[in-house]
C-alpha cells in the first residue's frame, strides 16, 4: 500500500517524474532565497515580484501563445523592470518601499489578468495563474534546472556578501565598491526563480514554495547556515507530498504543494524550537538564554 501510493506513480509515469524533478529544482533554490527575504523584512517583496512577472508573461502569451521562451523572456523583463522601479520609487520619492511594492503588486496583477483575458480562455488564465506542473516538457525542465544551479552557485560564491548586505548593508557599502551591486544581484535571483516557478506553479503559487518553507525553517533555528538547507529540505518534502496527494485525489497540483507547505508552517508555529508558541510559553530556567 505504501509503495503503491508513494513510489509506484514516479516509477510508472514519466509525467510524475518530470513534475518531481521540476518541483525539487524550484524548492532547493527558491526556499533559501525566502530565508534572506524574511531576514531583510522583504517577505511581501516576493509576492509583489511574483505578480510583476504576470504582465510580461501575458505579453509573451499574446505574441506567441503558450510558448515557454516568449513567456519566460517577457516575465524576466517585467520582473526586473518592477524591481528597479520599486527601488527607484522608494529612493527618490517620499513613498516607503512597502507602499511602492503594494502599488506595483496591484497594477501588475490587474494588467496581467486583463492581457491574458483579451485573447485567451479561462483555461489559459488558470494555467498562467496556477501553472501546470504535470505538463512540464524538456525545455521547462532545462530552464528549472539551469535556474536552480545558477542560484545555488551564486549563493555559494556571494554568501558572505549577501549575509553582510542583509545584516549590515551600510558597512558593506563602505568596505567594498560592489556593495551597491549586491541587492540587485539578490533581487535578480528572486526574479529568476519566480519566472522559473511560473511554469510549474503559476504566478500565484510560485512564491508560496519560496516563502512558506523559509518561514517554517526560521521557527526551528536562528542560525542562518542551518536555516538555508532546512528551508530547502522542507520545500522538497512538501513538493513531493503535494504531488502524491494531487495524484491520489485529483486535487490541483500547485495548490496541493502549497497546502503541504502551509501545514508544515502551521506546525512550526506551534512546535518550532526557535520561536514556536510552545517554546515561547515554556518557562525558562534560571540563566537560560
Grid coordinates in use for 180? 551597491
pLDDT band at 242 (very low <50, low <70, confident <90, very high): very high
First to last CA, the chain: 46
Could you give phi then psi for residue 66, rounded to 5 degrees?
-80, 65
What mean pLDDT is predicted for residues 219-242?
94
Dihedral angle, C-alpha 16, 22, 28, 29, nearest 10 °: -170
pLDDT band at 230 (very low <50, low <70, confident <90, very high): very high
- Which tops the pLDDT comparison, 276 or 14? 14
Grid coordinates in use for 6? 508513494
CA 47 to chain centre: 8
Grid coordinates in use for 214? 523559509
Q: 23: Cβ–Cβ under 8 A, 6 or more apart, which residues?
A: 133, 200, 201, 209, 239, 240, 242, 243, 257
Residues of 48-57 as b/e, b for ≥16 C-beta within 10 angstroms?
A: bbbbbbbbbb
Q: 127: Cβ–Cβ under 8 A, 6 or more apart, which residues?
A: 66, 202
Q: 187: Cβ–Cβ under 8 A, 6 or more apart, which residues?
A: 45, 49, 83, 87
pLDDT at 71: 77
pLDDT at 180: 77
Percent of the chain at pLDDT > 90 equals 29
pLDDT at 238: 95
pLDDT at 120: 59
Please determine, for residue 30, whether its predicted confidence score (pLDDT) is greater than 90. Answer: yes
Q: Which fold has domain 2-203?
A: ABC transporter involved in vitamin B12 uptake, BtuC (1.10.3470)
Residue range 130-166, pLDDT digits in tens? 667 777 888 888 888 999 999 999 999 999 999 998 8
Q: 134: Cβ–Cβ under 8 A, 6 or more apart, which residues?
A: 15, 16, 18, 19, 246, 253
Radius of gyration of the chain measured on its C-alpha atoms: 19
Domain layout of the chain by residue ranges: 2-203
Helical segments of 65-180, H only = 68-92, 97-119, 122-130, 138-157, 159-167, 169-175
As a whole number, the mean pLDDT across the chain is: 82
Could you give phi then psi for residue 220, rounded to 5 degrees?
-105, -25
Residue range 68-90, pLDDT digits in tens? 778 778 888 888 887 777 767 76
Amino acid at each position: 500500500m505504501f509503495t503503491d501510493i508513494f513510489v509506484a506513480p514516479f516509477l510508472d509515469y514519466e509525467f510524475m517524474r518530470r513534475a518531481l524533478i521540476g518541483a525539487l529544482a524550484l524548492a532547493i533554490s527558491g526556499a533559501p532565497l525566502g530565508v534572506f527575504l524574511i531576514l531583510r523584512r522583504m517577505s511581501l517583496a516576493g509576492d509583489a515580484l511574483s505578480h510583476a512577472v504576470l504582465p510580461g508573461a501575458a505579453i509573451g502569451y499574446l505574441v506567441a501563445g503558450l510558448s515557454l521562451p516568449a513567456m519566460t523572456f517577457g516575465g524576466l523583463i517585467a520582473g526586473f523592470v518592477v524591481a528597479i522601479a520599486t527601488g527607484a520609487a522608494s529612493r527618490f520619492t517620499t513613498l516607503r518601499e512597502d507602499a511602492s511594492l503594494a502599488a506595483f503588486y496591484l497594477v501588475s496583477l490587474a494588467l496581467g489578468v486583463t492581457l491574458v483575458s483579451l485573447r485567451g480562455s479561462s483555461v489559459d488564465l488558470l494555467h498562467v495563474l496556477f501553472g501546470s506542473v504535470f505538463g512540464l516538457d524538456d525545455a521547462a525542465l532545462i530552464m528549472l534546472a539551469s535556474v536552480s544551479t545558477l542560484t545555488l552557485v551564486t549563493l555559494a560564491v556571494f554568501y558572505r556578501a549577501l549575509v553582510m548586505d542583509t545584516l549590515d548593508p551600510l558597512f558593506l557599502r563602505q568596505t567594498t565598491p560592489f556593495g551597491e551591486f549586491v541587492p540587485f544581484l539578490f533581487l535578480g535571483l528572486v526574479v529568476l526563480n519566480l519566472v522559473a516557478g511560473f511554469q510549474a506553479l503559476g504566478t500565484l503559487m510560485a512564491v508560496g514554495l519560496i516563502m512558506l518553507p523559509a518561514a517554517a525553517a526560521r521557527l526551528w533555528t536562528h542560525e542562518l547556515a542551518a536555516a538555508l538547507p532546512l528551508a530547502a529540505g522542507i520545500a522538497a518534502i512538501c513538493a513531493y507530498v503535494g504531488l502524491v496527494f494531487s495524484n491520489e485525489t485529483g486535487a490541483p497540483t500547485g495548490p496541493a504543494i502549497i497546502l503541504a507547505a502551509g501545514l508544515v508552517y502551521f506546525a512550526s508555529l506551534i512546535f518550532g524550537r526557535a520561536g514556536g508558541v510552545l517554546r515561547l510559553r515554556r518557562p525558562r530556567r534560571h540563566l537560560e538564554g
